[in-house]
Amino acid sequence: MVLRTFCEQYANRFMVVRSYKKGDLIMKVYVNNRDLKVFFDITFKYKRFLISTGLQTTEKFTGMVFPKSDRSAKAKTARLAALYASVEDYILSHQSETVDELKLHLKEVVTGAKRSDKNSLVNYILTIAKTKDRYNTKRNYERVARTVEVYDKDSTFESVNKRWLTSYIDHERKKGRRDNGIQTDLQILKVAFSRAIEEELTDKFPFRGVFVKKEQTKKRCLTLEQLRAIRDFKLTGKKAMYRDCFMLCFYLIGINISDLLFLPKTALKNGRISYKRNKTGKLYDIKVEPEAMEIIARHRSRKKDRLLSFLEEGDATITNTFANNLTRHLRTIGTKERHSYYVTTHAIEEGITSYWSRHTWATMASELDIPMEVIGRSLGHSLWDNAVTATYIKYDTRKIDEANRMVIDYLNADIKNREA
C-alpha cells in the first residue's frame, strides 16, 4: 500500500508536469524511441545529460508508470520510482559537484557499484578529508578526490607519476580551470603522498619538476559607484534578501559568509558582534553600525541558536549552496534590455561573489588613507599580530570602529547629500 502510494505520487507528478524542478534541477523520464530503453533526462546547472536506469519497456510511455503490456510493469514502476528518489536525493545533497562528477556518481547510485580498491588514491584522499576539522578544508579534499576520480578512478600511488600529473594538469586546464585552483589540487595530492610515505604505503613522490605557476589574480572589488548601485537597486523577494546579505557582509568589515550565516544569537550583545572565524580560529569583535542593525532586524532567525535567517530564506542548508545562489543573484542585478524574444541583463558587475565585500571594504579604507595597520587589524590579518604587542597591549578597538564608520560614511555620502 505504501509502495503504491509512493509510485502514484510520482506517477501523478509526471503525468501532469512530466518534469520536476527544484532550484537548478530539472528531471524527467525519457524513453528512447529506437530501443525503448529508459533514461533519466536531467538538466542541472544549465547542462543536460542522460543517466540510464537499466530498465527497458515494451512500448513508449509517459510519466513514471510502465504500460500494462509489459509483464513486469509493477516491478519496473517500483524500481523506477525508487531510482528516481535516490538520484534526486543525491543531486540535491551534492550540489557543489560538477556535472562530470555527478554523472560518474549517479551511475554508481543507479547500478549500486562502488569502488572496490581500498588503497586507491581517491579513497585515501577521502580518508584524509575525514580527519579535517575545518569545513572548507574538508570540502577541498573531497573536491580533489572527486576530480581525480573523474580523471582516473583507478589511480593508485603506484600508477601516479610525472606523466600522470602533467596530463592531469592539462585535463583540468581544458575544462577551463585556472592555474591557481589546479595548484591547490597539487598541494593536496602532495599531502596525500607525504602521509602515505609516513605510513609506508609508498616510497614514491612524483612531484619533482611538476610546477604550476601562481597567477596574478584580478582585484576582486567594486567601485564606489558600483556598490552604491547595488545598495540602491530596486529589488524584491530573494534578490533583495541576497543583496541584504552582501551589504551586511560589507557593513561588518567583510565578514566571511560562512561565519555570518551561522552566527549564534549570543554573538550580538551590547551593540557588538563577537565571533571566532571558522577558517582561522581568530576572535573578532565588531561594532554593529545602524546600517547593519537595520538589515539584522529584517532577517532575525526564529531558531533559538541562530541570529540570522538567511539560510532559511535562501532554501539552503550548507554555506556553499547559499554562496553560489547569492553569487548568481548578485550577477543579475542590473538594467534589463528587452528584445523581441528575449531579455538581456547588463549586470552591475558580472564577476562579483560574496567575498568581494571584504576586498571592497579594504579598498575603500585605503582610498580614505586609513593606516594600513588599522586596515590589517580590522580584517584580522596576522601580519599585524606582532608577538610582543599582542601579548602586552590590547589593541584599541576604537580605531577599528572609527575606520568602519569612516568607510560606511564614505559609501553613504551620496544619501546625505540628497537629504541635505
Q: Kindly state whether residue 203 falls inside one of the protein's structural domains.
A: no
- Average pLDDT of the residues in 168-189: 91
Q: Kindly state whether residue 208 falls inside one of the protein's structural domains.
A: no
Q: Kindly state whether residue 206 falls inside one of the protein's structural domains.
A: no
Pair 121, 168: CB distance under 8 Å = no
Pair 201, 119: CB distance under 8 Å = yes
Which residue, 147, 180, 198, sits at the end of a domain? 198
Q: How far apart are CA 277 and CA 136, in angstroms?
A: 12
Q: Kindly state whether residue 250 falls inside one of the protein's structural domains.
A: yes
Cell of 180: 591557481
Is 100 found in the same domain as 240?
A: no
pLDDT at position 349 over 90: no
* Least trusted range by pLDDT, from 51-65, 102-116, 256-270: 102-116
- pLDDT bin (cut points 50, 70, 90) of residue 321 is confident
Q: Kindly state whether residue 377 falls inside one of the protein's structural domains.
A: yes
Is 245 found in the same domain as 129?
A: no
Q: How many domains does the chain have?
A: 3
Q: How far apart are CA 307 and CA 240, in angstroms?
A: 19
Is 46 found in the same domain as 130?
A: no
Cell of 34: 529506437
Q: Residue 218's pLDDT is what?
A: 64
Is 403 found in the same domain as 269?
A: yes
335 burial (CB, 10 Å; 0-12 / 13-18 / 19+) is: exposed
SS3 338: strand
pLDDT at position 403 over 90: yes
Is 304 found in the same domain as 388?
A: yes
Q: Residue 153's pLDDT is what?
A: 86
Report DSSP state, residue 380: T
Chain centroid to Cα 85, Å, comes to 23
What percentage of the chain has pLDDT greater than the value 90?
38
Is 399 found in the same domain as 259?
A: yes
CATH no. for residue 265?
1.10.443
Q: Kindly state whether residue 213 falls inside one of the protein's structural domains.
A: no
Pair 29, 80: CB distance under 8 Å = yes
Tens digit of pLDDT for each residue in 193-250?
Answer: 998 888 778 888 999 999 888 776 666 789 999 999 999 999 999 999 999 999 999 9
The one-letter amino acid code at 406 reads: M
Domain limits for position 58:
2-111
State the chain's mean pLDDT as an integer.
83
**Among residues 187, 355, 380, which one has the least CA distance to residue 281?**
380
What percentage of the chain has pLDDT greater than the value 70?
84
Is 30 found in the same domain as 92?
A: yes
Contacts of 180 (CB under 8 A, 6+ apart): 214, 215, 217
Contacts of 130 (CB under 8 A, 6+ apart): 138
Chain centroid to Cα 57, Å, comes to 39
Q: How far apart are CA 235 and CA 334, in angstroms?
A: 10
Cell of 88: 534526486
Is 286 found in the same domain as 168?
A: no
E strand or H helix that includes residue 284? strand 283-287
Give the residue carrying C-alpha cell 565578514: 255
- Average pLDDT of the residues in 135-151: 88
The Cα-based distances of 92 to 288, 299, 315 in angstroms read: 35, 25, 12
Cell of 296: 539584522
**Among residues 398, 406, 372, 411, which one has the least CA distance to residue 285?**
398
- pLDDT bin (cut points 50, 70, 90) of residue 12 is very low
Q: Residue 371's pLDDT is what?
A: 92
Q: How far apart are CA 369 and CA 260, in angstroms?
A: 28
- pLDDT bin (cut points 50, 70, 90) of residue 279 is confident
Which residue, 111, 135, 160, sits at the end of a domain? 111
Is 282 found in the same domain as 175?
A: no
Which residue, 163, 183, 198, sits at the end of a domain? 198
Is 323 found in the same domain as 232?
A: yes
Q: Kindly state whether residue 214 falls inside one of the protein's structural domains.
A: no
Is 107 found in the same domain as 126?
A: no
Is 277 found in the same domain as 369?
A: yes
Cell of 135: 569545513
Q: Kindly state whether residue 253 falls inside one of the protein's structural domains.
A: yes
